[in-house]
Amino acid sequence: MKTKESRFQVHDELTAPERSLPILKGALAGGGQVSNFLGVLAGSPATLRAYARFRSELRHGSLSLATQQRIALAVAEHQGGDYALSTLQRSARDAGLGLDEIALAREFDSRDETEHALLRFVRGLLDTDNAPALHLHEEAREAGWSDEQILEAVAHAALAQFSNLLARSGNVPKDGSGEEGRLLRAA
């Protein structure tokens, strides 16, 4: 069933295509509920599997969870990703970021100079269709980021862009909004 806001069906474990079920069941086991984003992705088993694999590999990379969250926050803010921002506020806090660091990350900034250098590189990447300015790459390296970590930062930025693009294209409702609508209709 489509929610009032979504352009795509938001699937659950009862309506999803069979090839999407293993990932949805894994999400249920880990978090207790399938997000609207994953519910929409479940409509294309290949897309859901590709997203899950890409995200899983990056989560086990060399960047800390806090750095991953900073990148996702910056990209979501840059792209106007309301859906992502609504979930990242909580997950960034869970990753140990304070409210001040969350606000700074949304502006490609950090009080930590090392993190700041990497976020400036990511911003340079997003602000142009060409290669980011060489000095941004050099600053990230001088701040201590390895090529492996810089490449992972690019991949995290790409994953965040994909997530924002999908959420916008489908007008994916924020998690919990469907429940609010059901409660209002029941009242």
Q: Does the pLDDT at position 182 exceed 70?
A: no
Segment 14-22 shows an average pLDDT of 95
Give just the sign of the alpha carbon dihedral 114, 118, 123, 128. Answer: positive
* Structure confidence at residue 4 as a pLDDT band (50, 70, 90): low
Segment 17-22 shows an average pLDDT of 95
Q: Where are the alpha helices (DSSP H) in the chain?
A: 21-31, 36-41, 45-59, 65-79, 82-94, 99-105, 113-126, 134-142, 147-169, 177-186
Q: Percentage of residues in the chain with pLDDT exceeding 70? A: 91
Q: What is the pLDDT of residue 27?
A: 86
Each residue's pLDDT tens digit, 92-149: 999 999 999 999 999 999 999 999 999 999 999 999 999 999 999 999 999 999 999 9
Q: State the architecture of 65-169 in CATH terms.
A: Up-down Bundle (1.20)
Q: What is the pLDDT of residue 1?
A: 52
Q: What is the pLDDT of residue 176?
A: 72
Q: Dihedral, CA atoms, 154, 159, 162, 163, nearest 10 degrees?
A: -140
Domain parsing of the chain, residue ranges: 1-60, 65-169
